[in-house]
Amino acid sequence: MNRRQFIDRSLLALVGGALVGCVDSKKNLFEKNQVLGCFGDSITASTDGYVKILQHQMNQNSPDLALKFLNYGKSSETVTGLTEKEHPGPRPYLFDRLDNKLDKTPIDVALFCYGINCGIYGPPSEGLFNTYKKGILLFLDKMKERDIGVVLLTPPPLALDAVAAVPTNAMDDYGYLNPYPEYDKEVLQEFTQIILDIDHASVLAKIDIHSPLYENRKDCYDNDPIHPNENGHQLIASTIIEKIAF
């Protein structure tokens, strides 16, 4: 499948998901004039990524709702507070800025997409999984205090086999430049399951974007195994709309 065909199919999915939302009120989680804050790392922060696509589709297909999507993505950020040794400086930690963001601009719904950086590209451990889960629960507790509903997105995959060769053992310590070879299978898939198993009063929906991106990784990644390309962002957006159509 070429890129044009992929994008056309994704756009059809976007429109189809929105139309489903018109007839299936149970999937419509939003009310008029709500503000949605999208929190995540550089994948969310992309200026032409899934957040922009969601806003565009809302404006086209559900203008009466007048939803506003705010992009609060920040490159390199985590909810675990961890940083690999080779990283240029400490990774940003969401909770160092979260309260200030929410105080400055109140929101009604939060979209949460963290994980690919949170394991700092190393091997799995129970301590790591517990730290990730604690970060998610801390976010959810803070949203509950402010009466903000949350849509949890699983982390996207690390698509090592979909791009040009990436070194996985070139340095003494694993990191974003030389990730642990089984990082996706042993860490990110476990993070995905943690998201899907979370039980919290603030959660409006849990959406698996890892699986569709992984299944379509040859189309959704170019030379970078971390950041989805245009096709990947289209697929993230269509997956969100399919699950919680507005």
CATH value at residue 101: 3.40.50.1110
Give the span between the Cα atoms of 77 and 42, in whole angstroms: 8
Q: Is residue 2 one of the residues assigned to a domain?
A: no
Total domains, the chain: 1
If DSSP codes are grouped into helix, strand and coil, which group holds residue 170? Answer: coil
Q: Is residue 78 part of a domain?
A: yes
In a domain, 223, yes or no: yes
**Which residues are CB-neighbours of 13 under 8 A, at least 6 positions away?**
238, 241, 242
Residue with tokens 């697929």: 235
Q: What is the pLDDT of residue 29?
A: 80
- Report yes or no on 150 lying in a domain: yes
Percent of the chain with pLDDT over 90: 78
Domain housing 38: 32-243
Q: Give residue-wise pLDDT tens across range 196-217.
A: 999 999 999 999 999 999 999 9
Residue bearing tokens 């340095």: 171
Residue 123 lies in a domain: yes
Distance CA 243, CA 58 (A): 14
| CB-side neighbour CA atoms (13 Å) of 126 | 0
Q: Could you report the per-residue pLDDT of 163-182, keeping only the tens digit for each?
A: 877 776 655 689 999 999 99
Q: Is residue 21 part of a domain?
A: no
**Residue 27 carries which DSSP code?**
G
Decide if 16 is inside a domain: no
Tell me, what amino acid is at 205?
A: A
